[in-house]
Amino acid sequence: EVQLQASGGGLVQAGGSLRLSCTTSGFTFDDYAISWFRRAPGKEREWVSCISKYEGTTHYVDSVKGRFTISSDNAKKTVYLQMNDLKPADTAKYYCAREQKWCSGKESMHNSWGRGTQVTVSS
Q: pLDDT tens for residues 8-34?
A: 999 999 999 999 999 999 998 888 999
pLDDT above 90: residue 54: no
- Average of per-residue pLDDT across 80-97: 98
Q: At 52, is the pLDDT very low, low, confident or very high (cuts 50, 70, 90)?
A: very high
What is the pLDDT of the chain when averaged over all its residues?
95
Determine the length of the chain.
123
pLDDT above 90: residue 49: yes
Give the containing element (helix H, strand E) for 97.
strand 92-100
Measured CA to CA, the distance from residue 40 to residue 38 in angstroms comes to 7
pLDDT above 90: residue 78: yes
- Average of per-residue pLDDT across 85-102: 96
Of residues 86, 4, 94, the one with CA closest to residue 47: 94
